[in-house]
Amino acid sequence: MVEVREAVWRRRSGWWTQNGHYLLFMLREVGGSLSAVYGIILLGLLITFDMGQASYEDYLAFLQTPAMLAIQAVILAFVLVHAFTWFYLIGKSQAVMSAYRAPEWTRVFGLMIVIFVAASVGVLFVVFGGL
Amino acid sequence: MDRLAFDIVVVGGGAAGLRAAIAAAESDPKLTIGLVSKVYPMRSHTVSAEGGTAAVMRDYDNFELHALDTIKGSDYFADQDAVEFFVSKCPDEIVQLDHWGCPWSRDDDGKIQQRAFGGMSVKRTCFAADKVGFHILHTLFQESMRHPQIVRLDEWFVTDLIQENGAAAGVVALDIRRGELSYINSKAVVLATGGCGRVYEFTTNGFIKTGDGMALAYRAGAPLKDMEMVQFHPTCLPGTGILITEAARGEGGTLINKDGERFMKKYLPSKMELGPRDILSRSEMIEIREGRGFKGPHGDYMGLDLRHLGEQAIDERLPMVRELAEKYLGLDPIHEPIPVRPGQHYIMGGVSTNLVGETPVKGLYAVGETACVSMNGANRLGSNSLSECLVFGKSAGMAVAAFAKRTGWPRGGAARDALAKQEARIFGGLLKREAGSESLSGIRREMQQIMERDVGIFRDEKGLTDACAKLATLRQRFANVSVADKDRVFNTDLTQALELDFMLDVAQAIAWSALNRRESRGAHSRTDYANRDDANYLKHSLAYRTDGAPRIDYLPVKITKWQPAERKY
Amino acid sequence: MAAENQVVFRVRRYQPQGTKGPYYQDFRVPYRSDEVVLDGLNYIKDNLDPSLTFRWSCRMGICGSCGMDVNGKPRLTCGTFIRDVSPGGIVQVDPLTGFNSIKDLVADFDPFMEHFLYVKPWVIREKQRPLSEGEYTQFPEELAAYRQQSLCINCTLCYAACPVFQGDNHFVGPASLALALRYIRDTRDEGADERLDLLSTPHGIWECTFVGECSVVCPKEVDPAGAIQSLKVLATIRHMRKLLMPKFASR
């Protein structure tokens, strides 16, 4: 039996720069990791709080330095990308709930955004003690 | 070079071949079935059928009526015992496919829906949106995968039949991928390779429809029956030849000439656009010849008007028609009529068989468009073809299984000889030959143009005689064709040469049969013999291969209940 | 109708029985505004180089044979107009991404055929009713529930577009998974549990990271990405049921 020598396909490096969808996908995946990083930053708040008022306030001041603000802004951007692509995902997958007539994914996506905005406003309200 | 052996070899993986293979597998779990196809089965041309599959399913319908419609549609040329058998088996096939998962379109009460179709007096065409062939093929292919005894040889090209003492004993096939020839021993061979539309220039048929099985049977000594009966479908897109389903007319679409008139009222007022295909195609050609066609870059055409059906109906029942028009012509059928003109679509003729697919060669069977039972006579009604593949696929599958059970294995000597012969012809000859004086694509194009011009919708003595002579010359010139691609692996230059070899045989059978039928009947229309001549020609043409011109013989049409009458609608 | 325009087809060649690897070859191809990339390839084969090898058949986008990469994107060449893909006068044609190629533009899609078979793409039932009892009742809305996933023509453009499959050919892949959902949602099928067990595996639905490109390139709008996410939810629900209410696990 003659085995035919095939041309083996190999992926090029930088494949994810090839189109917008691939790029968005990679950003989302990175966003997931950065969410975890932010969790560690928040963990720092708990730890320094436990260590005493001075440590806590030093930490807060550190978080407000220009470099840290910039980093937190970047993390926020990635987290938003991550969250919105997950809202898209929920829209695409919920068709199973009612097997015959799935609500349009755009409706679900819109609903998620509304809930997101409402929840964000609610949290900010609580944090800043009123508007 | 493998030593392969199966109880049954099925050549071709379309609806008929798959249905036969499944029927054989179901009738005896111990049988091994080799399904040899030159393409992966889901690429078979069954996939492009759009309109529907006919069967008597409701109380307003009955077998007598389906039979009469079919026989009348055939211009009283179909074998009536075959038709009676056929109509009685169609309903079971529809139900069988449903059980295997075919997504038939449904009525509000959940039953399989049916629509009107050309030449059918009542709504008896079951459908699956406008992709019935696609759904049936995928259903059958996927169901066939459930039977491990059906072993598939995908992308294997059968080059020759093996015969031992005249009986079929297997096939010689080229494994396209590896570029190796092998013999496959079997007790019986079922040919299900479809039609031969690619002998014509303008056809709805896909590239793979090159009459391989017909030529294989022809070379093995089986006669090709009624080859002159070639169907031209009235609604093909100009240029590409892409099919626009008859269902568009079944749902209410109309045909108009450049003056906006529904010209069918001049030719067939009682049926209009739902008349038989041969009458419609001829009417369109007459309109075009008399200058009432629209003018376009690919020749003159008629308009298929769907505007009055409305967007909702079109999207629900004819979505693919809309997609095709938008994609290939850049127009939306809800706003503009679709340009259409007649094109080759189907061949009623084929390898002569009986009701269970047996050919005169022992152990050799044929089903589907490859075969001619004859169930379609001189003109096939739309939506009868898929039913034909299913009904006769099953009956042949069961018959060949029974045959294989009671038949012993061939001895093997014939297989080795056949393989040696093919290797000499193909690798020693076609492939080795240095650049010849003839071009493969050139000869193919010439053949297609001759067929289109002289063996088309309207034929006459001079044109047909001319065509026969030219085809004989092409046959000789083919000997000077060389295959430029010398790499054996996946050599489509080689397979195209083998296909052209088959097509030249089949084209000759068509042209000679047409020349010798000096009457007009159904799709065979002679301007010099314009009337039907039952006294002399109520018989099927049989074309036998010789070293020279095909030998034409005849076989009487089987009449049971319906006396041939004038085909009046 | 005479050809109005000219374009260069830059085609990926590969001869398995030669000694060199893949290389590109340029051909000057005349074309009309209504011609597709497949027409160009056939022009080359018929007039310039008969050894150019590619698959095709129906030329109307229903058989699924002619999938290739055109300018880096997986397309059906029978439905891709040359006028649309020739900026700068060059059309580049490669075999489908992600698959090894046998010769020239012919991809080896054995991995697909394997995955296709793996999901058991047929009606699974304990018992079929006899033919004499007629067809199963299926209402139009029940048909609508799986209709979209039943439209797959097996062209494997989705596999070519999927970065997961590109990285790991063992991933069952978009088309096969969509087909699994088609059967699971078909009211005549009883094999949901059996299939979900097959799909809920590391190379099954869980390898999908929802890039979504498969649904973008699908020429038949099957939406395999959505189908896979639906399968994930189905599989999870079933798993939870089995865990918490084992008696009510099956559908």
Contacts of residue B100 in chain C, CB cutoff 8 Å? 122-123
- The arithmetic mean of pLDDT across residues B112-123, rounded, is 93
Instruction: Tell me, yes or no, whether A11 lies in a domain.
Output: no
In B406-486, alpha helices (H)? 413-423, 440-454, 461-477
What is the predicted pLDDT for the residue at A103?
64
Structural domain count of chain A: 1
Question: Interior CA angle at A80 toward A78 and A86, to 5°?
Answer: 105
| CA-to-CA dists, residue B524 to A82, B226, B510, angstroms | 67, 10, 11
Contacts of residue B203 in chain C, CB cutoff 8 Å? none
Question: Taking a C-beta distance cutoff of 8 angstroms, is the pair A91, A102 a contact?
Answer: no
Residue B28 CB burial class (10 angstroms; 0-12, 13-18, ≥19): middle
Do B419 and B313 share a domain, yes or no? no
Helices and strands of chain B, counted as H and E runs? 16, 21
Tokens representing B119? 């030449």
Out of B45, B138, B249, B524, pick the active-site residue.
B249
- The arithmetic mean of pLDDT across residues B450-461, rounded, is 97
What is the predicted pLDDT for the residue at B353?
97
| pTM of the predicted structure, to 2 decimals | 0.93
- Beta-carbon contacts of residue A77 (< 8 Å; ≥ 6 apart): none
Query: Is A106 an interface residue toward C (CB < 8 Å)?
Result: no
> To the nearest whole angstrom, how far is the Cα of A66 from the nearest Cα of chain B?
55
Instruction: Tell me, yes or no, whether B426 lies in a domain.
Output: yes
User: Residue B471 belongs to a domain with what CATH number?
Assistant: 1.20.58.100
Task: Give the C-alpha separation, B476 to B481, whole Å.
Answer: 10
What is the predicted pLDDT for the residue at A28?
85
Residues of A with CB under 8 A from a CB of B: 1-4
User: Residue B438: which domain range?
Assistant: 414-531
Interior/surface letters B36-46, b for 16+ CB within 10 angstroms, e for the rest: bbbbbbbbbbb
Tokens representing B369? 């468009």
Tokens representing B404? 């294989």
Instruction: Tell me, yes or no, whether A1 lies in a domain.
Output: no
User: Residue A87: which domain range?
Assistant: 16-128
Q: What are C188-213's pLDDT values in tens digits? A: 999 999 999 999 999 999 999 988 89
Query: Which of A7, A18, A89 is the closest to C72 by Cβ?
Result: A18
Task: Give the C-alpha separation, B394 to B19, whole Å.
Answer: 6
Q: What are B267-298's pLDDT values in tens digits? A: 999 999 999 999 999 999 999 999 999 999 99
Q: What are B357-391's pLDDT values in tens digits? A: 999 999 999 999 999 999 999 999 999 999 999 99
Do B437 and B522 share a domain, yes or no? yes
- DSSP string covering B118-169: TT-SS--EE-STT-HHHHHHHHHHHHHTT-TTEEEEETEEEEEEEEETTEEE
- With CA atoms as reference, the chain C residue closest to A105 would be C226
Query: What are the beta bridge partners of residue C10?
Result: C26, C92
| Strand pairing class (B350-352; B114-115) | unpaired
The span from the first CA to the last CA of chain B, in angstroms, equals 58
Whether B233 is catalytic is yes
Instruction: Tell me, yes or no, whether A49 lies in a domain.
Output: yes
Instruction: Tell me, yes or no, whether B335 lies in a domain.
Output: yes
Q: Mean pLDDT by 10-residue block, N- to C-terminus, for chain C (251 residues)?
A: 82 90 96 94 96 96 96 96 92 96 96 97 94 95 93 97 95 97 95 94 94 91 91 90 76 49
Question: Taking a C-beta distance cutoff of 8 angstroms, is the pair C180, C195 a contact?
Answer: yes
Instruction: Tell me, yes or no, whether B454 lies in a domain.
Output: yes
Identity of the amino acid at C11 = V
Instruction: Tell me, yes or no, whether B221 lies in a domain.
Output: no
Instruction: Tell me, yes or no, whether A5 lies in a domain.
Output: no
Q: Do C98 and A21 touch (CB under 8 A)?
A: no
Query: Which of C104, C123, C154 is the closest to B101 by Cβ?
Result: C123
C: neighbours with 3+ CB pairs under 8 Å? A, B
pLDDT band at A95 (very low <50, low <70, confident <90, very high): low
Query: Is B489 an interface residue toward A (CB < 8 Å)?
Result: yes
Instruction: Tell me, yes or no, whether A47 lies in a domain.
Output: yes
Task: Give the C-alpha separation, B338 to B236, whole Å.
Answer: 10
User: Residue A100 belongs to a domain with what CATH number?
Assistant: 1.20.1300.10
How high is the ipTM of this complex?
0.96
Q: B97 phi and psi, to 5 degrees?
A: -65, -35
Question: Taking a C-beta distance cutoff of 8 angstroms, is the pair B385, B209 a contact?
Answer: no
Of C10, C49, C9, C12, the C-alpha closest to C29 is C9
| CA-to-CA dists, residue A127 to A124, C26, C185, angstroms | 5, 65, 47
Question: Interior CA angle at A50 toward A48 and A51, to 5°?
Answer: 60
Of C44, C58, C94, the C-alpha closest to C74 is C94
What is the predicted pLDDT for the residue at A98?
45
Beta strands in chain C, from DSSP E residues, in sequence order: 5-13, 23-31, 67-70, 73-76, 90-94, 101-103, 106-107
Above 90 in pLDDT, residue B534? yes
Query: What are the beta bridge partners of residue B6?
Result: B186
What chain C holds in terms of domains, given with CATH numbers, is: 5-107 (3.10.20.30), 110-248 (1.10.1060.10)
Contacts of residue B180 in chain A, CB cutoff 8 Å? 1-2
Structural domain count of chain B: 2
User: Residue B317 belongs to a domain with what CATH number?
Assistant: 3.90.700.10
